[in-house]
Structure 1
Amino acid sequence: MPQQPRQTRGFSLGTLVGARIIVQPSTLVMLVILAAIFASGSGTLNSRTFILGLSLAVILFASVFLHEASHALAARAFGRRVDEIVLTLWGGHTSFDARDITPKVAAVTALAGPAANLVIGVVIYVLSDAGVLGGLPGQILAWAGYANLLLAAFNILPGVPMDGGHVLEAVVWALTGRRHTGLKVAAWGGRVIAAGVVLWAVAVPLLNGRTPDTFSIVWSLLLASILWPAASAALRHSQTVGRRVGVSAVTLMDAAVGVPFDVTVADVVATARSVGANEAVVLAADGVPAGHITMDVALSVPEERRASTGLQAVTTPLPRGAVVQATDDAEDLVGHLREWWGRTDVWVVSSDGEPVGVLRLLDAMNALR
């Protein structure tokens, strides 16, 4: 059974394609802040302008929700389990089952959000240009179109954590066959964008002979303070993923051979030596691994006593089910570590139902960190 992700705390607004829609309390704080900023832009901050500003802020977050909902719908179209759509202080995110994902699925799912905002923005622009609504409602409609076009343009930028960064990652991944290379390129793209945001806020006014606006500088620094750490985290993750390439249960295990529970230590030593194994897996009456024996422990029994010594004296018990498959890769082993850490020290590595090795959790953790 796949492990269910931890639920995000916040206000629940129902579900979409099986995903919980969560609004974090910090979102409400940002709504008030944006309402005040939009209202003050008119030159006067009062109840009327604040309500108008709040309406514009709500439209912005509604656009963010549609953006995230499009990610969810795209992931679900590929048969992925979608867990959550979360609106946060700085926007939102969608959590879905990304195990064994392909570059195509990753790219299309990432593109779905900006594409939805682009379509909505263009449709609203056409309606607004046609004069469907006039006066204040028309201005609000025009703002909704602008907000969606802005979200589409910003999110398509080629750097993590923007959706364009995930598209870039998928493209490089498809071309090189190495996902960590794609993530590394996209992470550096995110860093360039973070620095570029600040440079744009300072350089553009100076080139036009104006003094940089304090408000623009503050917002650019705030945005960069979000983008740079996210890109840096992605860069560190790419390095971790790179180290995990080629890591599997087979590459980390010690070779082992299965032995019945009712044989002697002498039988274990002879069987292990015949196949060059360093470990023996003790099988219960139903054939399920019940313990393991290292050759050092088996050989510590005096040779003259091995033929009369049962396995109980040298077996380290194993909890039932502490088995991984020889085909399990690094991602699979990470999941197994979460499940078994603190419950056992080793796993039995199985191939076609037969034990072929013993893998220590500490060795797996050191290889995967």
Structure 2
Amino acid sequence: MTPSPRPTRGLTLGRAFGARIVVQPSTLVMLVLLALLFATSGGVELDRRTFTIGLVLALLLFVSVFLHELAHAATARAFKRDVSEIVLTLWGGHTAYDARGLTPLVSGVTSASGPVANLVIAGLAWLPIATGLLEPSLVQWLSGSVTVYGIVAWLAWANLVLAAFNALPGIPMDGGRVLEAIVWAVTGNRFRGMIVAAWGGRVVAVGVLMVGLSVPYLQGRTPDLFDIGWSLLIVAILWPAATQALRVARALDKRSAVTARALAVGAVALPFSVSVADARAAASAAGADEVVVLGADGAAAGHFPVALTEAVEEAARPSTGLQSVTMPLPRGAAVPIDADGDALVDALQEWWGRTDVWIAVDEGAIVGVVRLADAMKALQ
């Protein structure tokens, strides 16, 4: 549930909470396949009536998935996050919202809202049955006439299953994101939470396979191709998603350790009017390897490594101005000394090719110089 880098292709049905509601073409394919599956369950012959009933059940399932995603969007908006898309896909859906400056609370509550919505739907569907408003006068599925009671009971059961499956503690399920948020809140390290949740996703994938193959034995039969196929299909979705999340988490964890402070070379800021000899003395006193040259207005206008002054003859240094060794620096080429990996990536995108260094500042004071090449190497 992160912002999409570009709009998702598909049929736009409207907007909700500021987000585009998008249905991908593959969703329509899955809708038909589910309708056929429901229509022929229990060995029932496929005809117009059974297919219509199967289509109704499939549509109810997709509406439940949509309401699940709508709950994510509504929760994100409640936390004052911009929501860009609500997308229904072949395997369900996803909601994209602004995740900048995310906190464990926002991430965990937003993720949990989807399964909670399905539990609410299941409860609302079961309420008229539990109170006797709907009587099971004819509880037969596709082998006979399907009653309103049967459809409502199926809706309650389907949403209960959706809630339970999405609550499983592993990425890519919502429960995995909740687990990530909990570990993040406890340890203070989001990426450690991602790693734990990604491993949870792998465990869930193996668990799904084991359950899918063991249930038929508990029912006194051998797993057929349908049992094996569905189990392997779910594993083929969950395992790669968890593995990819694990790779991303490890890479981002490494990136989070990269800061401007760790990369900065010590620097001393001097006015443009001083001589090379004065600059060398000031840098030596400060233990700095770089000199930042200040313009007439006091802003950083250039820089040079102290080693570059070796090219100036010693006798000429007291009378040589800094313009002979200074390399120009664009206005604004600066980063906070505590800038982390994500901030450095953004700065690289903005400044690469325009300057070779940034000025590192701490509460407005120049404290060092960060070379873009060093930042690029550390972030790779």
Q: TM-score, normalised by structure 2?
A: 0.87
Contact between 1:187 and 1:234, CA under 8 Å: does it hold in 2? Answer: yes
Looking at structure 2, the residues matched to 281 and 200 of structure 1 have their Cα atoms a distance apart, in angstroms, of: 65
Paired position in structure 2 for 1:119 = 120
Distance 2:82 2:295 in 1: 37
Higher mean alpha-carbon deviation, 336-345 vs 173-182, is at 336-345
| Structure 1 segments unaligned to the other structure (5+ residues) | none
Paired with 2:24 and 2:379, the residues of 1 have a C-alpha distance of 32
| Partners of 1:261 and 1:311 within 8 A in 2 | yes
Verify the 8 A CA contact 1:131 1:138 in the aligned structure 2: no
Other-structure match for 1:18 = 18
Name the stretch that deviates more: 251-260 or 191-200: 251-260
Does residue 1:38 correspond to 2:49, yes or no? no
Cα distance in 2 between the residues matched to 1:313 and 1:120: 74
Partner of 1:358: 369
Letter in 1 for 2:343: D
Q: What is the CA distance between 1:186 and its match in structure 2?
A: 1.3
Q: 1:348 aligned to 2:359?
A: yes
2:327 corresponds to which residue?
316
Q: Are the equivalent residues in 1 in contact too, given 2:356–2:372 (CA < 8 A)?
A: yes
Matched, 1:181 2:192: yes
Of residues 277-286 and 226-235 in structure 1, the stretch that sits farther from structure 2 once superposed is 277-286
Which amino acid is 2:11 matched to?
F
TM superposition shift of 1:270: 2.7
Verify the 8 A CA contact 1:74 1:112 in the aligned structure 2: yes
Distance in structure 2 (CA, Å) of the matches to 1:341 and 1:136: 66
Distance (whole Å) between structure 2 residues aligned to residue 128 and residue 206 of structure 1: 32
Q: CA deviation at 1:342?
A: 4.3
C-alpha change, 1:232 and 1:341, in structure 2 (3 Å) is: farther
2:290 corresponds to 1:279? yes
How many matched pairs? Answer: 367
Q: 1:224 is matched with which residue? A: 235
Distance change in 2, residues 1:314/1:239 (3 Å): same
Which stretch has the larger CA shift, 151-160 or 170-179? 170-179
Which segment is superposed worse, 65-74 or 77-86? 77-86
Moved more, 113-122 or 259-268: 259-268
Deviates more, 1:166-175 or 1:332-341: 332-341
Runs of 4+ in 1 over 6 A off after TM superposition: none
Greater CA drift, 273-282 or 283-292 = 283-292
Whether the 8 Å CA contact 1:248–1:328 is kept in 2: the answer is yes
Partner of 2:141: none
Instruction: Identify if the C-alpha distance between structure 1 residues 159 and 282 changes in structure 2 by more than 3 Å, giving closer, same or farther.
Output: same
Aligned-residue sequence identity (percent) comes to 56
Secondary structure of 2:309's match?
Answer: helix
Residue of structure 1 equivalent to 2:247: 236
Any conservation in 2 of the 1:156–1:163 contact (CA below 8 Å)? yes
Q: Is the 8 A contact 1:269 1:299 kept in 2?
A: no
Give the 3 Å change call, closer, same or farther, for CA 285–199 of structure 1 in structure 2: same
SS of aligned partner of 1:290: strand
- Counterparts of 1:229-268 in structure 2, within 5 Å, are 229-268=240-279
Three-state SS of the structure 1 residue aligned to 2:368 is strand
Q: Which residue of 2 aligns with 1:306?
A: 317
Q: SS at the partner of 1:124?
A: helix
Please say which of residues 153-162 and 250-259 is displaced more in the overlay. 250-259
Aligned to 1:9: 9
1:203-259 deviations in whole A, cap 9, x for unaligned?
Answer: 222344311021121111111111111111222233224334543211221112223
RMSD: 2.6
Q: What's 1:203 paired with?
A: 214
Report SS of the residue matched to 1:327.
coil
Q: Is the 8 A contact 1:30 1:89 kept in 2?
A: yes
Tell me, yes or no, if the aligned pair for 2:256 and 2:342 is still in contact at 8 Å: no
